[in-house]
Chain A
Amino acid sequence: DTEVTQTPKHLVMGMTNKKSLKCEQHMGHRAMYWYKQKAKKPPELMFVYSYEKLSINESVPSRFSPECPNSSLLNLHLHALQPEDSALYLCASSQAGAGNQPQHFGDGTRLSIL
């Protein structure tokens, strides 16, 4: 079992729906990440939160809206997504400011847009 928990594991939604992906960690990490991974491709960074503040936004479309309500939780709010947004969404966490520490990943949410 991973120490980063993502819910739901699978999500199917229409293009007009609003849904949220959730991520939780209890390792005391103060950096949290969202990645998008298309099939047979490497993960691509979307957002980074450091000490609950957004520190990196990799020019992600505004239909993806991240939120970090506290040091243990990270959400990704989804609205008006496109079929090309279908992918595996991975959450990760790490110690902030410690470049030699690995990022710990959750199992991911497999998202399908109809």
Chain B
Amino acid sequence: AQKITQTQPGMFVQEKEAVTLDCTYDTSDPSYGLFWYKQPSSGEMIFLIYQGSYDQQNATEGRYSLNFQKARKSTNLVISASQLGDSAMYFCAMREGRGAQKLVFGQGTRLTINP
């Protein structure tokens, strides 16, 4: 079974609009971490934001925020006021277990911001 599911292969959004990228996960471990990365066409993976399984509040980092719904096992990324430079591939990833090192990625969502 897929550990991380991103159901949107591609999304197109007008500049300055907000966009939500979906991510659901599957784990039976009570301790886990969820990460979002951005990968432009140049290839580097850029860390955006983190949510821990025990965090009480949704994570925020500048224009990025997470809608973490633990019971639904989802952690959607919200990008406010989108910019042309936000066009990239976005990956959701999970690390299971306290101190675990293995990161499992979803299939990714390609986001295109239109001017």
Contact = CB atoms under 8 A, between A and B. Distances in A.
A108 B40 CA distance: 12
Interface residues of B, number: 26
Interface string B86-106: 000001000101111111111
Interface residues of A, number: 29
Nearest to A101: B50
B108 A42 contact: yes
Q: Name B's interface SS.
A: loop
A98 B47 contact: no
B11 interface: no
A55 interface: yes
A42 B91 contact: yes
B31 interface: yes
B9 to A, nearest CB: 9
Interface of B: 31, 33, 35, 37, 42-47, 50, 52, 91, 95, 97-108
User: What 4 A-B pairs come out closest when comparing CB atoms?
Assistant: A42-B105, A105-B45, A102-B47, A97-B99
